[in-house]
Structure 1
């Protein structure tokens, strides 16, 4: 099992389960959580962060839905084989968020991306 540094800010506007998911996404993106490695068990993680176990499970389910982890009964949460794309997906999310902050439309953003890819 890997040790993933998960930071939670109880006072932040971001829901706690999303903060859990974001911390794991960062660990996958920076390579500290590699495909095939086990994440901390939901109960253990919840206890260490002083969260409800369902909050952690909801974060893990979000990551499962994104294809970043596999949830296996009896084995727990495991970083998915294709999770290395998580880094790219996170970068795309950040790019889209930045484009929205600047009032850019999807076609305008795609035009910029097309230029960079050429």
Structure 2
């Protein structure tokens, strides 16, 4: 799996790291049970703080995409199908776009509700 971050981006580095994993899961490039790089090793290779990597990994754990196991590190779960990973990534992109446009949470939710009603 290839991790890339853009330090000049307005997207936080931890979010960029999480997005790399989401994309890899969505594309089927990583399989359930596969281990992600150790946080310290990934931080060193990307030139970021280890806590930045851990924030990205924590997001993925909260989304159910990975498990964080003491002594084993971060492991991709089998419980999230690739299409859900794709959807999570697209939702995050939409949320980032909405923030850039200065939209409130309620404005964005109303747009999503409207789209769901329209079918």
The normalised TM-score by structure 1 is: 0.79
Equivalent residue for 1:82? 79
Which stretch shifts more, 28-37 or 103-112?
A: 103-112
Deviations 1:3-50 (A, max 9, x none): x11110011111100000011110010010111111111011001101
Distance in 2, matches of 1:70 and 1:10, equals: 27
Pick from 53, 57, 61: which aligns with 2:54?
Answer: 57
Note the C-alpha offset of 1:81. 1.2
Q: CA RMSD in A?
A: 2.5
**Who wins on radius of gyration, i.e. which is larger?**
1
Runs of 4+ that moved beyond 4 A = 94-97
Note the C-alpha offset of 1:87. 2.4
What is the count of residue pairs matched by the alignment? 108
Pick from 32, 36, 50: which aligns with 2:33?
Answer: 36
List runs of 5+ in structure 1 lacking aligned partners. Answer: 114-118
Deviations 1:30-88 (A, max 9, x none): 01011111111101100110111111011000100111100000000000111323123
Distance in 2, matches of 1:13 and 1:89, equals: 19
Q: Cα 1:25–1:12, aligned 2, differ >3 Å: closer, same or farther? A: same
Note the C-alpha offset of 1:94. 6.6
